[in-house]
Amino acid sequence: MTQTTHKPLLNFIHGEWVAGRTGKTGQNINPANTEHVLGTYTLGDASDVDAAVEAAKAALPGWRATPAPKRGELLFRAMRVMEARKEELARALTLEEGKLIAEARGEVQKAINVLEFTAGEGRRLNGETAPSELPNTFTYTVRAPLGVVGIVTPWNFPVCIPVWKIAPALLCGNAVVFKPASLTPWTASILVEIFHEAGLPKGVLNLVMGGGGTVGQRIVTHPEIVAVSFTGSNEVGTRLYSDAAPLLKKVQCEMGGKNAVIVLDDADLELAAAGTVGGAFGSTGQRCTATSRVVVMESVADKFVERVAELTRKITVGDPLKDGSGMGPAVDEGQFKTDLSYIQIAKEEGARLVCGGDRVTDGDLKKGYFVAPTVFDHVKPNMRIAQEEVFGPVLSILRVKSFDEAIEVANGVRYGLTSSLYTNNVARALQYVDRLETGMLHVNNPTVGGEAHLPFGGTKATGVGAREMGKTAIDFYSEWRTVYVDYTGQKRSGNLY
């Protein structure tokens, strides 16, 4: 094992870095080189969550009384701190998650964009005035914070996803208990340092590391946590939603995707192939918006598959810190085995392997969790590789005979996060927007991506609750209050409803 890279990582409760009460620690491993132990992180339990909630409750009255524009100013300061620490944060992200350094820098920049946009909403937490049915009565609405909220985030976007949850939660005047993924504790620690350095009062943001079955479950069931925002797997999200329902908690879950690119017979095939390969293998396919399926019309399928294969074979799998690398490793052994398992399943089900299909073991890469970018052709809609989320660098190509069949096949999965259509036919593009069952739709660009000022989220099994990012993020972290001000100065008569 090589020398550790970061100091031992601790929980952050009431403005103090403290060890978890279990006294146990976990190892933070570099997925590109499993002999490189980045360091250790503390393992909390339910009692640490309880302490974090007490700290949040104590800090809540002062924070919710802080005017929203002032809360926004703090987010602007956090944005500037993050800009100053951008390279540090990106490098930590690459080392513990395996994302290419260029992609890590892009993720940090998106988090900066989210902070900038959300901070501006501090001057736009608007309600509305409305005429009353009653004379001499002034009616209006205002937004109010929820209270103490729990935030549970995944490993695949360990900077941006926490920021797009934490920022609107803080802006709305809530106090936060934050549980990051155990695979990415370093970036979580830096994020909390950034908010603290920006001047966030003690107790408003608390960090508790540990497993989902202990720390995560206590966040869901703690009676003083009134809302939970979760991003992760369908299995965990469904259980979380079920556990929170009897407690009447507000819940937001963003879960899986099985995103399709549709390539029609009039598409620019070079553009479609480039967008497909970028969407499928960027971030090693480890993002909920990754391109997992291509639904291509038979008349252009051979030419399209040939170009996809050419571009895929040109991807250099390698050390994510090196600028020449085109794809990094799977995040850990579990995901690595999942990728290889689905590749084997696809072969057994009769899909035709076009390229990839195995572990990469060249040189030092054998020390990491590297899987070759893999493409399967002649995949049938009922195959597991076409229905189940792999969350890795595995692309399935399904052939269809018509536009209507393409829509049917693209819709024929339980998920509904994002999709893409490549065509030069405006009518078909607008029909696609009307008929595709996804929360985000792209025309002539990849399935991936999302901008800070626009809603993020999907339909069907992909998610429940309000959308994330943009103005809609405010909806989850606040509640409406309707106010009636009677200025008659006397008792009213008649039916007042």
Tell me the average pLDDT of the chain.
Answer: 96
Pairing of strands 352-355, 374-377: antiparallel
Per-residue confidence at 2, pLDDT binned at 50, 70, 90? low
Chain centroid, CA 378 distance in Å: 31
State residue 493's pLDDT score: 72
Please check the confidence at residue 1 and state whether its pLDDT lies above 90. Answer: no
Mean pLDDT of 134-146: 96
Instruction: Tell me the average pLDDT across 421-445.
Output: 98
CB 335 within 8 A of CB 98: no
pLDDT at 494: 64
Q: Which residues are catalytic?
A: 254, 288
Mean pLDDT of 49-53: 98
In the prediction, which pLDDT does 489 show?
A: 86
- Given a cut of 80, is residue 170 above it in pLDDT? yes
Contacting residues for 429 by C-beta, under 8 A, at least 6 apart = 421, 423, 443
CA dihedral 45, 51, 57, 58 (to 10 degrees): -160
pLDDT digits (tens, 9 = 90+) for 371-395: 999 999 999 999 999 999 999 999 9
Name the residue with tokens 């006397």: 490
Q: pLDDT, tens digit, for every residue of 94-120?
A: 999 999 999 999 999 999 999 999 999
The full 3-state SS of the chain, as one line of letters, equals CECCCCCCECEEECCEEECCCCCCEEEEECCCCCCEEEEEEECCCHHHHHHHHHHHHHHHHHHHHCCHHHHHHHHHHHHHHHHHCHHHHHHHHHHHHCCCHHHHHHHHHHHHHHHHHHHHHHHCCCCCEEECCCCCEEEEEEEEECCEEEEECCCCCCCHHHHHHHHHHHHCCCEEEEECCCCCHHHHHHHHHHHHHCCCCCCCEEECCCCHHHHHHHHHHCCCEEEEEEECCHHHHHHHHHHHHHHCCEEEEECCCCEEEEECCCCCHHHHHHHHHHHHHHHHHCCCCCEEEEEEEHHHHHHHHHHHHHHHHCCCECCCCCCCCCECCCCCHHHHHHHHHHHHHHHHHCCEEEECCCECCCHHHHHCCCECCEEEECCCCCCHHHHCCCCCCEEEEEEECCHHHHHHHHHCCCEECEEEEECCCHHHHHHHHHHCCCCEEEECCCCCCCCCCCCECCEECCEECCCECCCCHHHHCEEEEEEEEECCCCCCCCCCC
pLDDT at 492 over 80: no
On the question of pLDDT at 447 being above 90, the answer is yes
Of 146, 77, 62, nearest to 116 by C-alpha is 77
Does the pLDDT value for residue 53 go beyond 80?
yes
C-alpha–C-alpha distance, residues 145 and 153, integer Å? 21
Q: What is the pLDDT, as a whole number, of residue 323?
A: 87
For residue 497, pLDDT over 60 is answered with no
Q: What is the pLDDT of residue 3?
A: 65
**Statement: residue 401 has pLDDT above 90:** yes
Q: Is the pLDDT of residue 59 over 80?
A: yes
pLDDT at 257 (0 to 100): 95
Rounded mean pLDDT, 133-137: 93
- CB-count exposure of residue 385 (10 Å: 0-12, 13-18, 19+): buried
If you average pLDDT over residues 158-185, what whole number do you get? 98
Cα separation, 174 vs 179, in Å, equals: 16
> Would you say residue 71 has pLDDT above 70?
yes
Partners of 316 in the β-ladder: none
Interval 454-458 mean pLDDT: 95
Average pLDDT on 449-464 reads 94
Structure tokens at 51: 């302490």
Confidence of residue 449 (pLDDT cuts 50, 70, 90): confident
Residue 261, strand partner residues: 294, 420
Q: Which amino acid is at 174?
A: N
CA distances 182 to 165, 213, 443, Å, are: 18, 12, 36
> What pLDDT, on a 0 to 100 scale, did the predictor assign at position 353?
98
Judged against a pLDDT cut of 70, whether residue 80 lies above it is answered with yes
The per-residue pLDDT for 299 is: 97
Mean pLDDT calculated for residue range 13-22: 97
Categorize the per-residue pLDDT at 131 as very low, low, confident or very high, splitting at 50, 70 and 90: very high
Q: pTM for this structure?
A: 0.96
Return the pLDDT at 490: 86
User: Could you read off the pLDDT of 186-220 as tens digits, one per residue?
Assistant: 999 999 999 999 999 999 999 999 999 999 999 99
